[in-house]
Structure 1
């Protein structure tokens, strides 16, 4: 079984252009966004699998380390930190996956040659098409969904490790196939992957149900300061460096914490404010659909999706909370 390919103007053409980009080159740098999630790491591995199938050489790199919970994926240990790259010559062929904008590539961009050609594969509606070649499908649930289409379009069949990576990206970016981005094509793709032998139930248990002790302690601290707007339509959680230090948690343990604010009955927008080691504040927003949080994030220099977005501030926690909660409140009123 192969999932039915989405049909809309120019999609097949952009798939052809992406394949042509790959076939024209020999050696590639593959990069995803900083602080990578399940879709970013899976997309890195899947596009690298495709490169290998087409006889290309490549280097996988990220500014941030691979999250521990994703270390089981085949090839994950080969994703290098930017600081570990030893190649002196800049890369002239780049494939960026799951990067909503060029800034999300981070310091790895310093490795690009001035005249580098870049294939931009992404599913974020806020993506501005920063590549010399762009394969963007805003209605896709995850970047791995687009890469699956590209592989099918190329006439290739995934092996089990690559299929597991695609399934991982779909599973994490759809919240276990629960979010509104879970389309018929997503489920058809997932079914195709299960037919290839992917152990979906084991992935769900590992990625969605298991918690570290540090993560549980951090959740305890976060819920202790859960706050609400006067109309109870907005809820937010604050996590500072002291909380991370007290629990022994890492930034990886923050994933999913924002959903506890969003899942309260009557709440339309949940927000997580996270203090970073460099004194900044990262903001994650989740919406029921009553407000377009991608527009809110974009107004602060961030981006994302209608129901899930984020941004970053170089300001104190109290100031950021006030500004973001006010912007969300105005969006809900509108």
Structure 2
């Protein structure tokens, strides 16, 4: 485990105590879950199984199709299709930067429920009854790796696969600046437990569907830059998804094409929503704190990767955000 000090070890102890004191859990991640969120959800389920506890995994919507192959992913309930007819007193929230990111699933929480909040986002405000937070972790899956090790449990192939998936996706295939020595040490141990690294990398990082290619072509045709070339952005409208046959998950990684251009400090993807609002994804090359920028619009995230949602039309949101980013630089 990383040299994170006695205070963090105490939080690990508190998290394990929470899991041992209750017997029936609801496990939830954020709306529109990514690889880290789904992996962390399954990892918590695995840990609770080893502790002899009952649990139900749930998310507001469906999980991305590219993650359906993960062990036990098919057991995650889609709240939009099937609502459990009961409420829960003990909840574990993973990878949720704030309470609102849990979405409609919060309707299943008992009024005075106890909540374990496990997360790595710097903007997390500690909304849990118990909070296991580490801002310098590359992924929530990294924290769960440490929690499982702290519990003295050995990883089987299923647990190793989901934790490795969370690390792989949130580090961009171990390419982003959050790829720390601790991440690589964890990855090495997970490989020893039987992870098929090549197959995971091929499935999650290399493959592309035809709808995904079509939405990429459409997005790149709209790529724009400020005059000094330091800010780049592109946008997708609701009709683009319908016309290309793409889904929301096919937009993952599209924002990086704006940031990866030489000289660009901040790249952005504007996604127009059916309800008239706009989702904005930010990526920074390192000099700009896009989490601070996103917070100005009610969002949050990390220094290099953040997002927000704006209640205004696309043609109003884009110039406002671009001007804010330009001034921040």
Give TM-score, length-normalised by structure 1. 0.97
Task: Give the one of 98, 101, 107 matched to 1:104.
Answer: 101
Say which is worse superposed, 86-95 or 100-109, in terms of deviation. Answer: 86-95
Q: CA deviation at 1:218?
A: 0.4
Q: CA deviation at 1:9?
A: 4.2
Compared CA separation, residues 86 and 280, structure 1 to 2 (3 A): closer
Distance 2:237 2:82 in 1: 32
Task: Give the one of 183, 188, 192 matched to 2:185.
Answer: 188
8 Å Cα contact 2:61-2:80 kept in structure 1: no
- Where 2:5 maps in the other structure, the secondary structure is coil
Find out whether 1:118 has 2:115 as its counterpart: yes
Distance 1:305 1:86 in 2: 32
Which residue of structure 2 aligns with residue 147 of structure 1?
Answer: 144
Unpaired stretches in structure 1, ≥5 consecutive residues: none
Task: Give the one of 205, 209, 212 matched to 1:208.
Answer: 205
Distance 1:26 1:101 in 2: 25
8 Å Cα contact 2:28-2:94 kept in structure 1: yes
Task: Give the one of 234, 238, 247 matched to 1:237.
Answer: 234
Find out whether 1:217 has 2:222 as its counterpart: no
8 Å Cα contact 2:31-2:103 kept in structure 1: yes
8 Å Cα contact 2:219-2:236 kept in structure 1: yes
Q: CA deviation at 1:275?
A: 1.0
**Cα displacement string for residues 269-292 of structure 1 (whole angstroms, at most 9, x for unaligned residues):** 000000112221100000011110
Q: CA deviation at 1:90?
A: 1.5
Q: CA deviation at 1:120?
A: 0.1
Which residue of structure 2 aligns with residue 136 of structure 1?
Answer: 133
Find out whether 1:52 has 2:56 as its counterpart: no
Task: Give the one of 54, 63, 67 matched to 1:66.
Answer: 63
- Where 1:83 maps in the other structure, the secondary structure is coil
Distance 2:84 2:309 in 1: 31
**Cα displacement string for residues 272-328 of structure 1 (whole angstroms, at most 9, x for unaligned residues):** 000112221100000011110000111111000000000001110011101111111
Distance 1:45 1:140 in 2: 18
Say which is worse superposed, 197-206 or 184-193, in terms of deviation. Answer: 197-206
Distance 2:294 2:115 in 1: 25
Q: CA deviation at 1:8?
A: 2.5
Give TM-score, length-normalised by structure 2. 0.98
Which residue of structure 2 aligns with residue 247 of structure 1?
Answer: 244
Unpaired stretches in structure 2, ≥5 consecutive residues: none
Which residue of structure 2 aligns with residue 302 of structure 1?
Answer: 299
Distance 1:175 1:278 in 2: 31
8 Å Cα contact 1:6-1:185 kept in structure 2: no
Matched residues, number: 329
**Cα displacement string for residues 75-130 of structure 1 (whole angstroms, at most 9, x for unaligned residues):** 00000011344543311100000000000000001110110000000000000000
Structure 1 runs (4+) deviating above 6 angstroms are: none
